[in-house]
């Protein structure tokens, strides 16, 4: 899960939109991997319902928030592409 925070920080401080979006995507992947690990660990320790609730919350809130960051970066990039295309006319 710390990897996810690292990627969020790197993405936040990146200048280029593709680098930002790439780091945000990697952060989302790390959160999903962490949630999966929680589910497995919860089953092994006999704490399945608690682990499931936490994993659901991680995926529902954190992954959705990171997906929103990625969408925002993609919209910015599409806007730049349209402006650049207009400049070439």
pTM of structure: 0.72
Q: Would you state the pLDDT for residue 78?
A: 80
SS3 content of the chain, % helix, strand, coil (to 5): 90, 0, 10
Q: Which residue has the higher pLDDT, 86 or 8?
A: 8
* Distance between CA atoms of residues 23 and 8, nearest Å: 6
Q: pLDDT tens digits for 43-71?
A: 888 888 888 998 898 888 888 888 888 88
Mean pLDDT for the stretch of residues 74-85: 75
Q: Which residue has the higher pLDDT, 81 or 51?
A: 51
* Distance between CA atoms of residues 53 and 48, nearest Å: 9
Q: Would you state the pLDDT for residue 1?
A: 75
Distances (CA, A) of 30 to 9, 22, 24, 46, 63: 13, 12, 10, 24, 10
């Amino acid at each position: 899960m710390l990897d996810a925070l690292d990627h969020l920080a790197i993405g936040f401080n990146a200048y280029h939109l593709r680098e930002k979006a790439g780091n945000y995507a990697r952060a989302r992947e790390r959160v999903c991997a962490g949630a999966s690990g929680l589910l497995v660990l919860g089953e092994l320790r006999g704490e399945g319902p608690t682990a499931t609730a936490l994993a659901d919350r991680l995926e529902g809130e954190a992954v959705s928030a990171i997906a929103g960051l990625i969408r925002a970066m993609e919209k910015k990039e599409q806007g730049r592409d349209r402006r650049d295309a207009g400049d070439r006319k």
